[in-house]
C-alpha cells in the first residue's frame, strides 16, 4: 500500500492548482452572479489537456490515470464548480464512454476532437419523469432501417447549449424494458434538434444547463453505441466512472471551503485573539479536516481500483455518497466560521455552499448511491 503520489501526478495537481488560481478565480463571482458559462476558461482547459485526461494519446488524449484526474478535479472544483462539471462530463461520461464502447470510426470522428476540448460533449439521460429511475425513458428511437427516428425531451443537461456532440439514451423497444434502450451519438446540427430554456439554478450557476427537445430527428444507425439494446448498460457503466468525477468535485468544494475558513480563522480576531484559538472554531476545523481527508481517501481508492481494472462500482458510490455529504457539511460550517462575512459573496464560501448541494443529486442521488452500496454488500 503506497500513499505517495508519483512525480507525474504531483505535476498534474500543481498545473491544475495554478490554472484554478490564475485563470478561474478572477471573475468567478461575476460568472456566478450573471450565470455566465466559462467558455474561454474551458477552452484553455482543453489546451492544457484537462478535457480528455484519461483518453489514449492515439485519440489526442492525455493518457493519464484516474488518480491524476481526481487530483485535477479537486483543485479546479476548489475555485469553480461550473468549470469542473463541464470537465467531469466531458472526461468521465462522454470521452470515457466513447473510448470504451465506441467503434473506431466513432472515435476518429468524435473522440479526437472531444479529447482536446476543441468541441464539448453532453450526456443525455435524465428526463422530466426519468431521473433516478433511468429505465423509464420516454424519449423514443424508432428503428427505421438505416436510421433511428428520435422524439422526446431531456432535462438538466450539462453543457446543453455549448456541446457539439450529445450521447442520447432512448427507448427503441418498450416491450423489452431496459434491454430495449439504445445510446446514440447526436450532432448539434441534426435537423429536429432543439435546445430549450436555460435553467436558473441554486448553484453551479455558470454551468450551461438546458432542456433538449428532439422532434422527428433522424440519427444514422452508425451512430449507435454498441449492439442493439445496449443503451441502458452503457449508461450505468459510464455513470459508475462519472461518480468518481463528481465525488472529486464534492471533495474540491469541501477542501476549498475549508482552506478559506482556515485562513480566515487565523486573520479574524475576537476577544483578544485569533478565532482559530477558540475551541469552538478549532473543533470545527478539526472536524472539517478529518472528514475531508476521509473523503479524499475514498475518492483515491475508487480511482485506483478503476486504474487497476478492478470492480469500482461500490467504491465510486461510497466516494460520491460520502464526499457529497462532506461538501454540504463543510461549506455550511465554513460560512459559520466566517460569521456575517460568510453570507457575503466576496468571501466565496456562500457560493461554495450553494454549489455543494448538486453533488448530492446529479449522476445519481445519495439515495441511489445507497441502493448501489446495499446491493453490493448484500450479494
Cα within 13 Å of Cα(135), Cβ side: 6
Q: Determine whether 270 is exposed, middle or buried from the number of CB atoms within 10 Å of its CB (0-12, 13-18, 19+).
A: exposed
Cα within 13 Å of Cα(313), Cβ side: 14
User: Residues 342-358, buried b or exposed e (16+ Cβ, 10 A)?
Assistant: beeeebbbbbbbbbbbb
How far is the C-alpha of 109 from the C-alpha of 97, rounded, in Å?
Answer: 14
If one counts every other C-beta atom within 10 angstroms of the C-beta of residue 3, the result is: 6
Overall residue count recorded for the chain in this entry: 379
If one counts every other C-beta atom within 10 angstroms of the C-beta of residue 49, the result is: 20
What is the enclosing helix (H) or strand (E) of 134? Answer: none
As given in the structure block, the three cell numbers for residue 292 are 475531508
Write the CB contacts of 2 (distance below 8 Å, at least 6 apart in sequence).
none
Known active-site residue 367: no
Angle, in degrees to the nearest 10, between helices 279-307 and 313-338:
160
Residue from 243, 331, 255, 265 nearest 293 by CA: 255
As given in the structure block, the three cell numbers for residue 343 are 453570507
Report the chain's terminal Cα–Cα distance, integer Å.
27
- The catalytically annotated residue of 227, 267, 363, 367 is 363
339: left (phi over 0), alpha (psi -120 to 50) or beta: left
Write the CB contacts of 6 (distance below 8 Å, at least 6 apart in sequence).
none
- Under a CB-based contact definition with an 8 Å cutoff, are residues 341 and 109 in contact? no
- Under a CB-based contact definition with an 8 Å cutoff, are residues 145 and 103 in contact? no
Residue from 301, 313, 302, 321 nearest 364 by CA: 321
Give the sign of the dihedral formed by CA 281, CA 285, CA 290, CA 294: positive
Residues identified as active-site? 363
Amino acid at each position: 500500500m503506497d500513499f505517495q503520489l508519483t512525480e507525474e501526478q504531483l505535476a498534474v495537481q500543481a498545473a491544475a492548482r495554478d490554472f484554478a488560481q490564475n485563470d478561474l478565480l478572477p471573475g468567478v463571482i461575476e460568472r456566478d452572479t450573471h450565470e455566465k458559462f466559462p467558455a474561454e476558461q474551458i477552452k484553455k482547459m482543453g489546451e492544457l489537456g484537462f478535457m480528455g485526461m484519461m483518453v489514449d494519446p492515439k485519440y489526442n488524449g492525455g493518457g493519464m490515470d484516474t488518480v491524476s484526474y481526481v487530483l485535477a478535479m479537486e483543485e479546479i472544483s476548489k475555485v469553480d464548480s461550473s468549470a469542473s462539471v463541464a470537465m467531469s462530463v466531458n472526461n468521465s461520461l462522454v470521452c470515457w464512454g466513447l473510448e470504451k464502447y465506441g467503434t473506431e470510426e466513432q472515435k476518429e470522428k468524435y473522440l479526437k476532437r472531444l479529447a482536446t476540448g476543441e468541441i464539448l460533449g453532453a450526456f443525455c439521460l435524465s428526463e422530466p419523469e426519468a431521473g433516478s429511475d433511468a429505465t423509464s425513458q420516454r424519449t423514443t428511437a424508432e428503428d427505421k432501417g438505416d436510421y433511428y427516428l428520435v422524439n422526446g425531451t431531456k432535462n438538466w443537461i450539462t453543457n446543453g447549449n455549448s456541446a457539439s456532440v450529445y450521447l442520447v439514451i432512448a427507448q427503441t423497444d418498450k416491450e423489452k424494458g431496459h434491454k430495449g434502450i439504445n445510446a446514440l451519438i447526436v450532432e448539434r446540427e441534426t435537423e429536429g434538434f432543439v435546445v430549450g430554456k436555460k435553467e436558473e439554478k441554486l448553484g453551479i450557476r455558470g454551468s450551461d444547463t438546458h432542456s433538449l427537445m428532439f422532434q422527428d430527428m433522424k440519427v444514422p444507425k452508425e451512430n449507435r453505441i454498441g449492439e442493439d439494446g445496449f443503451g441502458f448498460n452503457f449508461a450505468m457503466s459510464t455513470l459508475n466512472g462519472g461518480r468518481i468525477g463528481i465525488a472529486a468535485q464534492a471533495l474540491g468544494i469541501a477542501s476549498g471551503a475549508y482552506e478559506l475558513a482556515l485562513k480566515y480563522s487565523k486573520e479574524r480576531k475576537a476577544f483578544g485573539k485569533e478565532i482559530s484559538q477558540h475551541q469552538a472554531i478549532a473543533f470545527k476545523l478539526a472536524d472539517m479536516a478529518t472528514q475531508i481527508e476521509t473523503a479524499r481517501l475514498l475518492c483515491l481508492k475508487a480511482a485506483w481500483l478503476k486504474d487497476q481494472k478492478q470492480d469500482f462500482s461500490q467504491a465510486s458510490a461510497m466516494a460520491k455518497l460520502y464526499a457529497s455529504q462532506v461538501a454540504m457539511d463543510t461549506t455550511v460550517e465554513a460560512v459559520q466560521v466566517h460569521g456575517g462575512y460568510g453570507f457575503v459573496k466576496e468571501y466565496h464560501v456562500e457560493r461554495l455552499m450553494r454549489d455543494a448541494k448538486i453533488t448530492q443529486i446529479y449522476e445519481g442521488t445519495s439515495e441511489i448511491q445507497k441502493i448501489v452500496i446495499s446491493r453490493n454488500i448484500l450479494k
